Chains A and B, each alone.
Chain A
Amino acid sequence: MKNCVLLTIDALRRDTFGCYGNEKTLTPFMDSLQEQCLRFDRAYATGPYTQASFPGILTSTYYLEYGKQKNLPAEKTLVSEVCKTKGIRTAGFHSNPYLSAYFGYNRGWDMFYDSMEDDVTDLHPFIRGDAIVKKVEEWLSGHLRENSGTPFFLWVHFMDVHEPYIPEEEYLETVDKSVSLSKEEMLSLFKDVIIKRDVSNPDTVRLLKKLYDAKVLEADEYVRRLFGVLGEVLDETTVIFGSDHGDEFGEHGGLSHDGKMYSENVRVPLFIYDRERAKGEVYERPVSNIDISPTIAHLFGIGDVDRFKGGSLLPVDEHRPGPCFGESTNKRGHKEKGEDKPIYYCLKDERKIILDEGTGEYELYNLERDPGEKKNLIHEDEHAETLKNELQSWLKNR
């Protein structure tokens, strides 16, 4: 039985990848893996920010199922719990507070590192990818020494792309030589512009995007190091990698990642790397991050898991495409509040419908003709009623 690695990169936009058409070479290493990957061209997150999206990735459930709770609800089963009961060694390494033991994400791991006890700085308020990779290396060598022969499920999550966007000089220079900001100035941009969601100056927004791009380049380097650490184990390992959501740079009047369900936030990169089997295929039908945990269970030969709402993406020729759904709250600004109302989306073929329960308003976009989701067709698209029904019936039956 093969091992499985799940690598997730926080707030990483799909359109930064060369393999998805970006020409700036921000992801050279991940692009270089494509010959040995199955690439999902239309993958969607189940929510536009970590708390809304990660239940989809690690528990194959939607955010608000079982109500909005501070901790991960007991009714949800982490894929680590499923793997552990089957005798697979489980290890998770990350630095996102919303995925920490405090919020209940430490269930089912033989090894769980969430970094919350470690000191961080304002400039890098997380443990960086290179240090995470070192911890993985230490754990992996111990695992191979003591439990060699026992398959493992390893989850690694990088925070390096997440704001504040304070890239190292070498990466910023590659993205744009002419930009020269001190780290303190970059931190001020975070405090004065990003946190305030101030998009009034398009030049500032463009500058922020350059800093972000430099962070993407940096994260790509840490992915290269992670693959280096996995080394020979890669022959017996399937690596699923992608992101939990994107990030906004003014496309819909905001910055960072609020409750909005537009493509810059919910359309995500997704790849399955398998040296033996994958041959650079591209799967073009819509898939959802809700299918990641069922795919991991499938790879370990574990049958259907009752509590999982998604289905395995493998084998891909047996995959049955259905609508993709997402759920979050309509938060605007950097913190969820009690009065935030749910917001949902349903995506089917080339159309996406969004329902904001706060306003009761629907929006409908034709993603093929209007990928930027600028023209709301709710009153003119002939499929509007069908999509409304699809969304409502999902809400009723989930």
Chain B
Amino acid sequence: MIDKKRIAELNGKIEKSMEIFEQAFERFRPEETRLIWSGGKDSTLTLWICRKYCSEKKIELPRAFTIDEGDAFEEIDDFLHRYSREWRVRLDWGRNDDVLKAAGEKLSAEVKVSDLSERNQAEIKRIGFDLEKFPFEAESYVGNHLMKTVVFNTYIEENHVKAVFQGLRWDEQPARKHDPYVEEVASAYLIPAHTRYRPILHFTERDIWDTTLHFEIPHCPLYEQGYRSLGAKTTSTKMSDRPAWEQDLENTVERAGRRQDKEKTMDRLRKLGYM
């Protein structure tokens, strides 16, 4: 249980997040925005605060967008289905069907580049690869780019989305420490221009759990089993068998071996001559 002082502190943090939503909705209509909802604890809290804001201001709740990378936990899928219904969230699912089809929906299957659409082929060239084939796996640099970044950019472009809400946090990793609440992404080849809002940047991992438990915000049952951070199924690992919120959050690492860190790391290795 947390004391009154702590509750007031958390309410202050929620207020701060509401201000970011306020800024966003001063510039954009709800239908021009999307909330990126992975089903993880951070984006679920972001959505919860967004609902609170929209219901207080009596504005329409933005649509949510989730990406199916072809390697998802069933528990996350179930969670997204259940709470999109209960919370009346219009949830869009994005998938790179072209790649999934070429891989026969099977992890580690070999994908022939010539089997892919022009767009996917252009994307592979854009990130500096001149490949004939690559393994479809959660770990591969190309696979990750196609399954996530491309799906995101395509969705933004096709739906004329002007702004997105992301559940990133400063304390996720030191490199995030200087991320701004609002970031403009300029348009470039294959990248549509859009604005990124990060309403919960100031929440620590501890704040997330204190808020989630205190306000009885739903969370995916995997966290109870000891997962601290949820990514693709084959690359996420439990940190302990104790529920996430009972672990030593302050002195241990939240993200170990998460897939989204992989992309940049692999790109560096490639440039250094290792891949």
List residues of A whose CB falls within 8 A of some B CB.
Answer: 70-71, 84, 97-98, 100-104, 106-107, 111-118, 120, 122, 125-126, 162-164, 190, 194-195, 256, 334-335
Contact A163:B273 (CB < 8 A) given known A101-B255, A116-B264, A116-B268:
yes
CB-nearest residue of chain A to B255: A101
| A117-B273 in contact (CB<8A) | no
What range describes how many residues of B lie at the interface? Answer: 20 to 34
CB-nearest residue of chain B to A336: B274
The answer, yes or no, to whether B262 is at the interface (CB within 8 Å) is: yes
- How many angstroms from the CA of A115 to the CA of B261 in the assembled complex? 11
Between A and B, how many residue pairs show CB distances below 8 Å? 70
The A contact surface, by secondary structure, is: loop
List residues of B whose CB falls within 8 A of some A CB.
Answer: 173-176, 251-253, 255-258, 261-262, 264-266, 268-269, 271-275
Chain B residues positioned under 8 Å from A162 (CB to CB) = 272
CB-nearest residue of chain B to A162: B272
| A101-B253 in contact (CB<8A) | yes
| A335-B274 in contact (CB<8A) | yes
Which among B175, B265, B268 has the greatest number of chain A C-beta atoms within 10 A? B268
| B265-A70 in contact (CB<8A) | no
CB-nearest residue of chain A to B128: A122
Chain A nearest CB, measured from B239 CB (Å): 10
Contact A125:B253 (CB < 8 A) given known A111-B174, A114-B175, A117-B175:
no
Chain B residues positioned under 8 Å from A102 (CB to CB) = 257-258, 261-262, 265
User: What are 7 sample pairs from A and B whose C-beta atoms fall under 8 A apart?
Assistant: A84-B251, A100-B261, A111-B174, A112-B174, A116-B264, A122-B271, A335-B274
| B257-A117 in contact (CB<8A) | no
Pick the 9 closest A-B CB pairs, nearest first. Answer: A125-B271, A117-B175, A97-B268, A102-B261, A102-B265, A97-B265, A116-B264, A97-B269, A334-B273
Chain A residues positioned under 8 Å from B252 (CB to CB) = 107
Chain A residues positioned under 8 Å from B265 (CB to CB) = 97, 100, 102-103, 116
- How many angstroms from the CA of A115 to the CA of B176 in the assembled complex? 11
Chain B residues positioned under 8 Å from A163 (CB to CB) = 272-273
- How many angstroms from the CA of A126 to the CA of B272 in the assembled complex? 8
Chain B residues positioned under 8 Å from A70 (CB to CB) = 257
Chain A residues positioned under 8 Å from B261 (CB to CB) = 100-102, 116
- How many angstroms from the CA of A334 to the CA of B268 in the assembled complex? 13
